[in-house]
Structure formats: structure tokens, C-alpha cells
Structure 1
Amino acid sequence: MIERVPFGRTDFTVPAFGFGAAGLPADDDASAFKVMAHAVEKGINFFDTADLYGIGLNESQIGRFLKTMPAGSVIIGTKYGSMPKGENGLPGVNNKPEHIQAACEASLKRLGVDVIDVYYMHRRDPDVPVEESVGAMARLIEQGKVRALGLSEVSAATLRAAYAVHPIAAVESEYSLWWRGVEDEVLPACRELGVTMVPFSPLGRSFLTGKLSGSSTGSDLRSTLPRFQADALAKNQLLVDQLALFAQGKGFTTAQVALAWLLGQNDATTSVVPIPGTKRTEYLDQNLGALEVKLTPDELDELATIFAPEAIVGDRYSEVEAARAGL
């Protein structure tokens, strides 16, 4: 059975990595249920979703799945705050206390549960003091609707301000060998406060699997991201080629080594719990193989050197996408 690790300073633990549910096929319950059931069978019972994913459809699908499972067998983390459309017609952010209360109640209904295990602020709303937002989230705990609080894609200063209002169990941010921005300030703040780091896109939006080959990424989000543009992607591919050689020498896949590197960032104060997502059981099993990869401190450093921030070409988001994400 998969190892379980502390989750912040809560009274519950989670598996060493969780399951990112955002990419599940909303129109195919049979396929989605198959991979979710397989995850739980393997001990990966920490699911991550958000009210934004499918505009509620992802939560509703998980809710239907939960009806097939024993009560309490799945730990659910979901998020509020990112809006499909803001006042200008573009995706927006809403952290107003009245919205938080309503969003939580809507998520509870879609998920079909009485309590959400981890409730995250999906993005920070600069127009609302974080103290007000976290105060509203804390009231959800008092009401018995939420067990623990989380933040997503926030600065270290925001984390500390939020923690001063109520303990924060986790910060969910993009983190992988290919994007290590959280190491500058956010991860140290998590270590200082005993907050779990939950990396999304731990495989660099599949780039670290070594299967994108440097060709076009099609019409999905990656096609808009600077580091996936042709010239940048070709140069970044050289880093993945080095990762592939390293992985081959260890007898594992590039994806397994990339996940193992993240797991190697755990320490006594902070659990690092990646949430890779997949639609296929075979890929989930491959991800589990990361637990068998044993990396020495020197090997962890070697991989970090290969993927040194200055060696990576292209920003994480375009200016437009960064603005839409509230970053």
C-alpha cells in the first residue's frame, strides 16, 4: 500500500501523491469511474478538483462516483474563486466572503458530501483583503462544512497573512523539475509554517514524460504557453533528453524519475504531495512506479542542475494567460 504522509498540521494523512481529477472525461462516467476506482484501490484516495473544472461538471462527476464508494473512503480537495467570466468578459476571480459561502455550499451539493476535506482559494483576488477571505473560509470550518483550508498559487506574503488568520494546511502550486518558482519563497514559507506543498502539473503538462518530442502541441492550452513554442520547446527538449538518459540508467521512465524528484523534496516539516492526473489506469500504475525510484542527495542535485531555472527557455505563461490566472 502506498505510503501516507502528514497533511499540514491537520489530524489526517494523505497518500504520498494524489489524483488530479481535472482532466477526467466529463461525458464518460464509465471511463472516469474506472480510473478513479483504480486509484482508490491502489491507495491514491486524495482527489483534487475545483468548481471551475467543467464549470461544476467535474465535481458532479466525482459526486456520482463517491456514491459508489464507502463514506469517507476518499479525501476531497476542491477550490473556489476562479470564475469562468469576470466583469470584463474574461475569466475572473471572486474571493468575497458571500461568494465563498455560496460556492462552498454549491460544491458540497455537487460532491454529495457533508464536509469538504480541504477547501482551497483557487486564486487570490487582489480587490479583497486576504484576511477577509480566510476569515470567511474559517467560518466554514466552524459550520462543519470544511475540515482544512488551502491556498493555490499565492505568494509567501499572502500565505503568511492568511496563516495569521487561520492555520493553512496546504498550498497548491505548479511545481516540477520544469517549473521551480516556488522554491524561491513559497516553499521555504511552507517549511517554516508546516504547510504541505501540493504540486499540480508535476510532469510539466506531460512534457516531462518525454513523449511530446518537440513537435506542435495542438490546440490545447500548451499551444499558448511560451515554453511550448517551437524554438523554446526544441531547446527544452534537450533537457528532457538528459532526463531520459538519467532515467534509463536507473531503469525507470522519465515520468517516474520526475515524480520521484518531487517526492524527494519532502522533509520533516513539509510533505510534498504531487497530484498527477490521468484518464488511463496504465498511466496511473506507471506513476505509482515513482515510489520505487530511490534517488540519492547527489542525484537529486544532479537533476536540479540539469533543470536549473536559467537553462529553461520560455516563461510559464503568456502575459494574457498570467493576467487571466491572476498571477
Structure 2
Amino acid sequence: MEQHALGSQGLTVGIQGLGCMGMSAFYGTTDEKESLATIGRALELGVTLFDTAESYGPFVNEQLLGKALTGRREAAVVATKTGMEIADDGQVVGLNGRPEYVRRALERSLRHLGMEHVDLYYLHRVDPQVPIEETVGAMAELVAEGKVRHLGVCEAAAQTIRRAHAVHPLAAVQTEYSLFERGIEHDGVLKVLQESGIGLVAYSPLGRGFLSGAITDPDDFAEDDWRRTDPRFQGENFGRNLDVVREVRRIATDKNLTPSQLALAWVQHQGAVSIPGTKRRRYLEENIAATQVTLTPEDIAAIEAVAPHGAVTGDRYAPEFMGTLNG
């Protein structure tokens, strides 16, 4: 797999990573055996960046990834996150960017991962009650101690990214970015990343799976699937957004690609490292095949015509979670 400099701080990863969240939480039933096999297969296919967080489970996703990487740690770039406070009993408390929590959470993550350091440590969400300088300052101390190699932030506003980067250089910013969600092209975030030499990691590059073309009815989601709360999959929004997917599928078919492969190739074309999530080897292999796809200017123009910014209707999260974005 093509290797990609993620930002300008010396971190290099495969152009496509693996989001591990769905192996443990939010997207219906889980299967540890298949998840472990999927991570193993990802390593075989050249994936290096593996993305997890203390809040996925909570804790169990870090434990799963640590188990999968036993004896293979050197082959992986491990990214995990803090900033959503989780009590030791697994109860979600809320946002917490206080320095003392950042340190305590990292020590706990290292125990769950079974590792001595993490390669990329993100602030999962910005705590509005704590200046970003204090939070990133605490994260920088962990770098100085060798427990963390590189820093990043997730879903932060452009000015917040600038302030964080001034405290300690950021290797990456992770945010939702896909043909379904192009907000960073217009809110200043993409501009500040380019100006500051910060890498872009795109989560949900398949639009929470909608761009795969496999979801054609809201009832396709399991009863406990988090996506049932996503406004883009509700009411009239579902039908309108499905029309966008159909157009993406049409272009993909003309190129002998699956809709997922076209969508991932588009994100790659933008210069981002994508971390599509899957818990099955067959989807992993389909996704990774997209790294070999080259899009022509004509392809990009055709995609732009059917999936421009604003084509998708509905907020990215339910109202109670929208306030945690762009901190």
C-alpha cells in the first residue's frame, strides 16, 4: 500500500487505515473472532494505521486492538483518543479536557492496549470548559515522557486547531469527511490544515455506510444500531440522500467499481488518509482495493456534479451531540 506522510511531523502511514470502533460498539452485533481476523488481514494487506478510543465500548475496543496486535506491535501505528470522560466502571461522564484526566486516561488506555506508548493521541472532542492550551499542554507532556509519539485533535474548529498547534505541533486532525460530509472545505478547517502542515484523517469516509449502497431502507439497521439516531437516515432525508447514493453508484458502475471504492478513491484524491470502519474481512478487502484506483479529472467532475457540498440533507448527529462539534 502507498505510504503517506500524515502531516509534517514525521508520521508516515498507509493511505488507508482501519477504523475499529464498529468491532465493539454502535453498529449492531459484534464478533470478536472475525474482528481479530479482520485486523490480521489488514496487516497482511499493508494497513498500518489502526484507530480506536477509550470511549468505544467503553474500553473493550482498545483491549481488542491490543489483543490483535500482540507480537505485531511494530507493524502498526496505533491511534487512540481521550476527552470524553469515562469512569472506571465504564459509565460515560461527559467531556473532560482537564490535564489530570488526560494523563489518567492515557495511562488506562496503555493498560488496555497492553502497550508502552501510542503513536497518535487525539483529543476526541474539545471541552469548552477548559482552554485548549491547557489540554494540549498536558498531552505534550506525555510526548516528552515517551508515552505518546504524535498529537491530534478531532472535530475542532479552525481557530481551535491553530491554538492547539501553537502549543505543540499537531500531526493530524480527524474529522468526518466524505462525499456525504464536506463541511471542512467551507468552514476554514481544510485551509488551516493545509497552511499548517497538519494531516487530515477522514472518519466515516463511506457516509456511515450509506455510500456503500447496501442500505436502502431505514429498517436495514439493527435495532441497536446507532445510525437510527442520525438525522441523515430519518424521514424525508433518507430518500433524498439515497438519491445521491444512486448517482454515485451509477458513476462507480461505469468504472467497474463498487460505490464504496469510488467514495474512498475520492477521499484519497483529496489528499486525506481515510479510516473506513468494518468488522468483516470481505469488506476490508473491497475497501483496500480502492487504494489502487486513480480518478481522472473527468471522474472528479462527474462526482462533483452529483455530490457537491450541500447535496446531503440532515445534520450529522442528533441535536444533543451536535454541540460537541467544532469546539
Secondary structure in 2 matching 1:278: coil
Secondary structure in 2 matching 1:127: coil
Q: Which residue of 1 aligns with 2:302?
A: 302
Match of 1:203 among 203, 206, 218: 206
Q: 1:3 offset after TM fit, Å?
A: 0.4
User: What is the alpha-carbon distance in structure 2 between the residues aligned to residue 162 and residue 324 of structure 1?
Assistant: 17
- 1:250 to 2:252 alignment: no
* Residue identity opposite 1:12 in structure 2: L
Cα pair 2:34 2:281 within 8 Å, conserved: no
User: What is the alpha-carbon distance in structure 2 between the residues aligned to residue 192 and residue 326 of structure 1?
Assistant: 19
Q: Which residue of 2 aligns with 1:172?
A: 174
Cα pair 1:125 1:326 within 8 Å, conserved: no
Q: 1:324 offset after TM fit, Å?
A: 5.9
Q: Using CA pairs below 8 Å that are at least 6 residues apart, which structure has the higher relative contact order?
A: 2
Match of 1:221 among 219, 226, 231: 226
User: What is the alpha-carbon distance in structure 1 between the residues aligned to residue 238 and residue 19 of structure 2?
Assistant: 25
* Residue identity opposite 1:244 in structure 2: R
Q: How many residues align?
A: 317
Q: Which residue of 2 aligns with 1:152?
A: 154
> CA offsets per residue over residues 58-103 of structure 1, 9 Å max, x none?
1111112222x33411110000011358xxx975100000001111
Q: 1:321 offset after TM fit, Å?
A: 2.7
Match of 1:53 among 46, 52, 56: 56
Secondary structure in 1 matching 2:146: coil
Match of 1:240 among 231, 234, 245: 245
Q: Which residue of 1 aligns with 2:105?
A: 103
Secondary structure in 2 matching 1:205: coil
> CA offsets per residue over residues 129-155 of structure 1, 9 Å max, x none?
000111101000111100000000001
User: What is the alpha-carbon distance in structure 2 between the residues aligned to residue 78 and residue 145 of structure 1?
Assistant: 12
- How is 1:1-327 mapped onto 2 (pairs within 5 angstroms)? 2-25=1-24, 28-67=31-70, 69-84=71-86, 92-184=94-186, 185-216=188-219, 217-219=221-223, 220-266=225-271, 272-323=272-323
Q: What value does the CA root-mean-square deviation take over the aligned residues?
A: 1.8
Structure 2, unpaired ranges of 5+? none
Cα pair 2:4 2:15 within 8 Å, conserved: yes
What's the TM-score once normalised by structure 2's chain length?
A: 0.92
* Residue identity opposite 1:278 in structure 2: T
Query: How many percent of aligned residue pairs carry the same amino acid?
Result: 40
Secondary structure in 2 matching 1:126: coil
User: What is the alpha-carbon distance in structure 2 between the residues aligned to residue 119 and residue 237 of structure 1?
Assistant: 35
Cα pair 1:83 1:92 within 8 Å, conserved: yes
